[in-house]
Structures are given as structure tokens and as C-alpha cells.
Structure 1
Amino acid sequence: MKNPFARSSRNGDDGPSEIYGYRIYMVALSATWASAMYGYDSAFIGGTLELPAFKTSFGLNENDSTSLSSNVVSMFQAGAFFGAICGFFFAEYFGRKPVILGSGVIFAIGAAIQLVGKISALYVGRIFTGLGIGSHSFSDFGSITASTRTFRAQAQHSGEFRPRWLASKNQIVKAQKNLAWVRHLPVDHSYVVNELAEIQAAVCQELELSGEQRTLVQILHECAAPGVRNRILIAVMLMLLQNLTGINAINYYSPTIFRSIGFTGTSVGLLATGVYGIVKMATTAVFMIWIVDRFGRRGPLLVGAVGAGVAMFYLAIYSQLSDSFDRVPPSNSGSQAAVAMIYIYAIFYGFSWNGIPWIFASEVLPTRVRTIGMMCAVCMQWLAQFIIVYSLPYMVASIKYGTFYFFGSCTVVALVFAYLFVPETKGVSMEDMGVLFGPDVSILAVKAQENYQEFRRSTAMAATEAQQEKQGGLHVENA
């Protein structure tokens, strides 16, 4: 029976058959499960706040809705922001696994507190669940690349799953044991030994560059170095723009959004919200698993921004003309198109800005500053979410249809930023990211790409010349 996990050989280098198994998928799934917890929270909280039973149980009235929605939803993001910072320090000194386990416990405690049935407990529980997701998302960040590039990682030995942290702490025996488990090979197998040797060589090189004992000040100094700071800034900006496109406005307040375009009734609104979530999830899953390494990162970011922007501007124009924020609009072709535009937005966003900013940041950050670089990007993710979800209820109440215009305009900004500053990283190894983002390389994406292509051509020519010289030497020797 053919191994369902195997990939066809590339360049004759496909590794031992044992490495093509389920374990590498289990590692990715367990490390990224926080995404499911976060997705569940973002999907249910908006609908829950709209339920009449919820308002009755907590003794709320319509006058409480704006401030309640703003406070309850944003408490999660506030907790996640500080959780990401805590996750950085714990992961730096104790490793990723304890952080992942501990964050799950904190999330469970937060969920239990929310069941008390009091507003104060709801706030506290939301903060705890945010702390759990925030600290987990930091460790989860490093696995995003792995989970979306699993097939290529196995076939080309790119090493996203390597136990680098253990090696950096000189725990070589544990590192070799863990690597052997993931690869499903004996610890003394030549494949494991060679791969671990590569890890140790990379760690030694990093230590030589940065010094054996690095203080926080030294790490920050490295982050500010030319060729590094631009990568961190691009990653941070992508996280900011990812949220400014309006995704969390729809994620958390989709019942309100659907009501503004004519969906009346709690059940109908929740059903429309559920369909929206399914569309976004399915689009993201299909793209991230099967398509992202075929079409790259830059192209989908640009196309996704155009499609999402068109959808957002249509919603703005429709809600302005129909006055849908102040009255229930008639059911006609315009309202039906508005509903379709929300799903179109989910599709375009799902295959672009939903996952690519996370992949991009995890690919381009240098290993020696990846931990703190990830923290910066993840903190911006949660800070941007906090600003959006806290402000949105007030935006809906005050500027109404202008909310859609705002997010549409931000999507245009995201499009321009991606075009100017985000080069294509598809097929670029982690070792070659310095060529794409080096200290002497232009920050403009097109010129950076040209620099990398020239490097590839010169490298290929040098390899060809070396091969020809080798063959010429063999001919002379034979003669």
C-alpha cells in the first residue's frame, strides 16, 4: 500500500521512507491547536452577546449593548496582548512545550470562570482566556510555517521541526531523542545524526555572531541592526494591516453587520454568521494546505486585498444608499448582493491576509532574534485586535456606514504596502533570507526580488563552472 504521507522525490533527495509519517502532522496539530480555541471564541462571542437569553440572564437592556460589547469582547484581546509578552519570557527560558501546556490550563480556567454567570466574572474569564491564547499564540507562531509547509519540509529537509531550542540550551541528548521521534528513526540513524549536526552548526554560528551570553539589551540591539529591523517592521505592519482590513469587525460583530444589511431575527443572523465562518475556514484551509506554496505569498496578498476592498466598498455604498443602519432595508437584489459580498470578502481574505502575514513573519525572521521578533509581531496582532473590537461598537453607533468606508480604505493601504515592501518569499530558504532582506538591499520589494534573483543566477553559474572544472580535471586525469 502506498504511503499516503509520502511525496515524490525531488532532485533524487527524498530521505528515508520512515520520515513520511503521521508524527510530524501530530506535532503541527498539537502546537497550533490554540488557533481552534481562538477561532471558537471569535465565532461565538458576538452571537452570544446578541442572544435575548444572555441579556435576560445578566439583567441587561438595550442601553448597555454598545459599552458591553466593546468591553466584553476587548477584554480577551487585552489579556492576549500581555499573554504574548509573558509567553516570550517563559519560552525563552523554559521552552515552547511548557508554555503550550500552561496556556491550555489558563484558557480552561478562564472558560470555567465565565460560567459563573456574573458580568464581573465574565470580564475576568475573558482576560484569562486571552492570557492563555496570547501566550500560546507566541509558541503557535513558530509552528505556522511548519504546519503549512509540512510536505515540503519532509521532502526537502528544510528543518522547520528541528528542536533548535534544545540544541541552543546544549541539551543535545534530548534534542537528538526528540528529532528521532519526529522522524520515526533510531537515534543513531545517519539521517538523524546529520540533521542534528546541521542544527548544532547553525546554533554555533548564531552564538559566534551574537556572543555566548546575550542580555536583553544585546538582543534588542540585534533587532535594530540593518537587515533585521526591516524584517521585524514588515512583520509588525502586516499584523496591523491584517486587522485594519476589517476581519475582526465581521468575526466578532457579524450578527450586527448582517442585521445592518437586512438579516432580521436572532436565528437567521446566527445562521448567516455560521455560514460566513464556514466559508472563511474552508477557504483558508484549502489555500494554506494545498495552494500557498504554489502561488506564493506576495501575489495572494495583492489579489486578496483587491477582492476584499471591493467587497467592503460595496457594503459601504449599499448601506449608505439603503440607510440600512437606521432601518431594515427591503429584500431586493441590492441586499442579496450585500450578503454575497460578505462571503466574497471571506473568500478573498481567507486565501490571503488571514494566514500569509503569520507565514511571512515566521519565515523571514532570523533565528537568533526570532523569539523577540515573534513577540513584537504577535503583540501587534493582539493590540490591533483590541483597538478594532473595542472601537467597533462605537463606530457602528456613530459613523454607521462610514465603518465600511474606513475598513475599505485601510484595505487599500494594505494593498499599497504589500506591493511596495513585501517581496516574494516562496522557495527562499531561511539561510537565503539575508539576501532578500540584507543590510545593503533596498527595502522596496521589486528591487529586493531582483537582488535575490541575481544572487540565484550567480550561484547557479558558479556551481556550473565548478562542475565543469571538476569534469575537466577528471578528463585530464584519465588521459
Structure 2
Amino acid sequence: MASRLVIHDDSAFPAPNEVYNWKIYILAICASMGSAMFGYDSGFIGGAITLPSFVSRFGLGTSSSEQSAALSANIISTFQAGCFFGAIFMSFLAEKYGRKFPLIACGVVFNVGTIVQVASTGSLGMIYAGRALTGLGVGAATLVVPQYISECSPPAIRGRLVGIFETSVQFSQIIGFWINYGVNENISSTSDTQWRIPFALQLAPGTLLIVLMLLQPESPRWLIKTGDTDKAIRVLGQIRCLTQDDGYIAWEVGAIKQQLHDESELGATRPLGAKLKEILQRGNRIRLILGMSIMMLQNLSGINALNYYSPKIFKSIGFSGTSVGLLATGVFGIVKAMTTLIFMCFGIDTLGRRKPLLIGSIGAIIAMFYLGAYSKVSGSFQHTVVQDGGAYVAIVMIYIFAVFYALSWNGIPWVFCAEIFPTGIRSLCLLFTTCTQWLGQFIIVYSTPYMMTNITYGTFFFFGSFLVVGALVIFFFMPETKGLSLEEMSVLFNVKGLAITQRKKADEIIASQRVAENVADLKDETEYSNVEGV
């Protein structure tokens, strides 16, 4: 009952208490092993390639600063390139084969890539090949996981459940950060075991995804879309803890069928060209542009620079030494993960999407501009600085950035994109937004080493400026989506005007539609009663 108090169900057919059960949370956790693959990679790789054993084995110690930047960029960004193409391949597989078994395939591909990396005995080519394969698996998984969770979720806790995707990323990042610290402290720097352990532990989330998804059902929305309504009803009854003939199950099935029918009339079931034509319709076009913009702006906030290159960034503000950098990075991961967990559990379905993004942007902007100003004034990129008050404030600002980023740009873009698109074109739209995410990551992780070498403190000002742009985009163009069913998003995004008034107008339209539906239902019941009386 206590958990029920924090759930605000404003959908057309408020769900019974049984719907908010442990099964739907377990489903989200199992699927989120796909995002754990991504989180562990982003947590471990930046530190792993600075481990003395890795530097020695792959001959990175004799490189100039420019060559070192190039090698770091190549090793890390190869993964993002794989992710980009993995998302493209998965878009077709998910439409034909559903969500469950393609996710299992993602785990298999990821594990193969891990084995290739661990088997390397000094060949950077094997590292590149293995990272490309793990990227294929992760890119494909990040396309499907939010979609799968969203399609299985009740509207009132959809944000919380899709948020498990991002929470899993954060906690697996922590593991990656601290594994590097542990092997650096406890395993000899002359042993290949030091770098192989962090690389080999990628097998853990990949294997968990394979095993756990075998125990989960297919997406009920995809089943209805492919004509298997009976199985969809069984799945919904199972994950909602309701009988198959319950009225809420009938309402969900009816709502999905109605939207699919409406989209079919508009050409959503036609070939790719027809779907692209539907995407160009005003309401859908706006959604896609906004989704892609938010995904790109998420990367331009600077978070992936901190995730992948945090040891170097801590060094740039005066804290040197492999252990010191890895320790500070591990604490950064804990701060970000705990804030994400708290927000996704208690904030996103209460505060919504829009308000946290605006608040988080302001805090992150202050932190990023301080880091730029401190680096310029202290000259920390040119020489080792005294660890004075300004340096310690800079460290605090990194953690402040982590907190404000975690309650805003960290998970909300994924939640927002997973919930706003119509069922008939959701996979295609998510392909565009997910590819934008990975393209943005590729650009940032490839360019950050060069930016830190050549424009130094300007790197922080660059990211801070794009946070300002992101805040403006959210304020003027992103409406609140909290509490709306997936089928009601079309009403919201067909309302004209700026974001600040869109939701209010949409709520009025939805309320009038519900009144009309209730009147129609009452009329039907009255006519039926009259016939029965006759």
C-alpha cells in the first residue's frame, strides 16, 4: 500500500493495485542487463587503457602526447562505431523477430567480442575487432531495451521502469571504475592479468542478459502487432498479475489495437518508404526531431568525456597518479549512480521529465563553467598546480556536475524517446534516435583527447555552452509527458504552441475525449438495457 502512495495514475483507465507488482520490475531488471553491458564498458575502458600492464603490453608508453591521444580515441571510439551499426541492424531484427530473442543475440555477440579482446597478446587489431563486436551488441541492445520495457509497462510507472535501464548503466559503471582501481592496487603492473581481468569481466553482463531474457516473455505490443492477440493477453495477464478476462487487460488490448488500426490507416504497416512518409507528418516529425536533438545534446553535455577520460580530466585539474585518478573516478561513479537510483525510483514519475531537465541543466552549467575558468586561471593543463582551495572546489564541481546530470540528462532522454513514438513507427523512430546517440558518443569520445590536448580548458567551456543550448531546447520545445499512455502521446504532439502550454492544452483535449467515451458507453449500455427489457 505504501508503494501505491507514490504512484500517480492519470491514465484513461486507472490500473488496479495488482498491476504494480514485482514481476514487472524483474522484467525491467532482466532486460537492463543489455544496458549493463554498455555501463561496464564506459566505466572500465578509460581506466583500463591507462593501466601500466596495458600500456606496456600494447606499446603505448613510447608514444608522444598526440599519438597517445590518437590511440585512446581509436580504442574507445571503435566501440561507438560498432554501436551505431548495431542499432541499424537491430531495427530490422526487432521488427521481424520481436524484442526477446534479438536481445539474447545481443548478449552472444557481446561475449564473442569480449573473448576476442581478452585473447589478444599485444595486437591492437584484436582489441579494435573485439570492441567493434561488443559495440554491435551494445548498440543493438540499447535500441531494444527501452522499447521492450516501455511496451510492457503500465503508464503510471513507465518512467521508473525505463529508468532502470539507466540505473543499470550507472551501477555497472561503478563496477568498471572500481575493478580498475582494484587490479591497479593489488596485481603486479608487469602481469597481463592486471588488464585482462577488467576486460574479461565484460562476460558477466553479457551472460546475464542471455540467461535472464530466456525467462522473460515477448512484448505484448509486438505480439498484437503481429496478430498473436491470444498470446499477448496471456503475457499481459502474467506480468500484470491479473486474470486474462480482467477489464484492465481488455482495455490495454483494445487501446493498442485501436492505435495500430489508426496507424494502419495512415500507412504505418506499409513498406519502409510509407513509414518514412508517416514520420514526416507534423506530430511525428516534431517528435523525431526533438528526440534526436535531446540525444545529441545529452552527449554534448560532456558526460561521456568524464566517463571515458575521467582519470585524465582529474589529472588536468591537478590530481596526478594512476591510483589517485582511478580512485577519484570511482567516487564520481558512485555519486552519479546513487543519484540516478534515487531519482528514477522516486522522482521521474512524480516530477516528470521537463522540470528535472531544466533544474539539472542549471547545476551542470555552473559546474562546467567553473571547471573551465579554474583550468584557465590555474594553468593546470600546462603544469602541475598546487592543490589549493580552488583545486578542491574543482573536484567538488565534478561531483556536483554528476548529481545534477544524474537527475536530468542521464536517463530522461532514454525514457522520453522510449515513450513518445506511435507503435507502428516506434522501432524506426528509435533507430534514428539511438543512432543519433551513438553518433554523438563517437564524435565526443573520439574528439575529447584532441580537445584536451589542443584547446585544453576550452573543452569545459565547449560542453558548458551546449548545456545552455540544451536548457533552451527543453524550455521552449519539450512538453511534459508524465502520466500519459503511449496512445495519448499523439494528442500531445499534435497540439500547436510552445512546450510550456502544450501539456495543459493536451490534458483538456484528452479529458473531453474521455467524457465523450463515457457518454458513448453509457448510451450503449442504456440501449442494450432497453433491448433486454423488450
Residue 271 of structure 1 aligns to a residue in which SS? Answer: helix
Match of 1:78 in 2: 81
Q: Aligned to 2:502, which of 442, 448, 472?
A: 448
- Matching residue's letter, 2:157: R
Out of 438, 444, 451, the position equivalent to 1:395 is 451
List per-residue Cα deviations over 1:403-448 (Å, max 9, x = no partner).
111111111111111111111122333333223211x613x21242
1:173-224 deviation line (CA, Å, top 9, x unaligned): 322232232223454555545543443343333323326x410000000011
The answer to whether the Cα contact below 8 Å between 1:8 and 1:14 also exists between their aligned partners in 2 is no
Which residue of structure 2 aligns with residue 47 of structure 1?
A: 47
The equivalent residue for 1:208 is 265
Report the alpha carbon displacement of residue 172 of structure 1 after superposing the two structures with TM: 2.3
**Alpha carbons of 1:197 and 1:430: their partners in 2 closer, same or farther (altered >3 Å)?**
closer
Which of 262, 274, 298 does residue 354 from structure 2 map onto? 298
Query: Partner residue of 1:90?
Result: 93
Cα distance in 2 for residues equivalent to 1:14 and 1:466:
19
Q: 1:10 to 1:449 in 2, by over 3 A?
A: closer
- Separation in structure 1 between the aligned mates of residue 521 and residue 21 of structure 2, nearest angstrom: 36
- Distance in 1 of aligned mates of 2:255 and 2:153: 23
In the TM superposition, 1:134-153 aligns within 5 A as: 134-143=139-148, 145=150, 152=157
Percent identity between matched residues is: 44
Number of the residue aligned with 1:108: 111
CA distance in 1, matches of 2:344, 2:505: 27
Alpha-carbon distance between aligned partners in 1 of 2:511 and 2:26, rounded to the nearest angstrom: 38
Task: Confirm or deny: 8 A CA contact 2:99 2:219 kept in the other structure.
Answer: no
TM-score normalised by the chain length of structure 1: 0.88
Does the aligned pair in 1 maintain the 2:4–2:17 contact within 8 Å?
A: no
User: TM-score, normalized by length of structure 2?
Assistant: 0.80
- After superposition, where does 1:26-425 map in structure 2 within 5 Å? 26-61=26-61, 62-63=63-64, 64-117=67-120, 118-143=123-148, 145=150, 152=157, 163-187=220-244, 191-210=248-267, 213-425=269-481
Task: Could you tell me which runs of 5 or more consecutive residues in structure 2 were left unpaired when the two chains were aligned.
Answer: 161-217, 524-534
Structure 1 counterpart of 2:215: none
Q: What is the Cα deviation at residue 347 of structure 1? A: 0.3
Deviations 1:223-276 (A, max 9, x none): 111111000000000000000010000000000000011111111110100010
State the one-letter code of the partner of 2:392.
Q
CA distance in structure 2 between the partners assigned to 1:398 and 1:332 by the alignment: 25
Superposed CA deviations along residues 425-475 of structure 1, whole A, max 9, x for unmatched, are 22333333223211x613x21242353254357568879999999xxxxxx
The 10-residue stretch of structure 1 (446-455 or 95-104) with the greater mean CA deviation from structure 2: 446-455
In the alignment, is the contact (CA less than 8 A) between 1:296 and 1:426 conserved in 2? yes
Query: Displacement of 1:154 after TM fit?
Result: 12
Question: What SS does structure 1 have at the residue aligned with 2:393?
Answer: helix
Alpha-carbon distance in 2 for matches of 1:392, 1:57 = 24
Q: Distance in 2 between matches of 1:92 and 1:162?
A: 11
**SS of residue matched to 1:141:** helix
Instruction: Specify whether residues 194 and 240 from structure 1 end up closer, same or farther in structure 2 by C-alpha distance, changes over 3 A only.
Output: closer
Counterparts of 2:517 and 2:56, CA distance in 1: 73
Q: CA, structure 1 residues 102+467, in 2 after alignment: closer, same or farther (shift >3 Å)? A: closer
Residues 156 and 483 of structure 2 are in contact (CA less than 8 Å); yes or no, is this contact kept in structure 1? no
Q: Retained in 1: the 8 A contact 2:151–2:221?
A: no
Instruction: Give the letter aligned to residue 237 of structure 2.
Output: A
User: Quick one: distance in 2 between partners of 1:468 and 1:257?
Assistant: 65
Cα contact 2:7–2:349 (8 A) shared by 1? no
SS in structure 2 at match of 1:228: helix
User: 5+ unaligned residues in a row in structure 1: which ranges?
Assistant: 156-160, 470-479
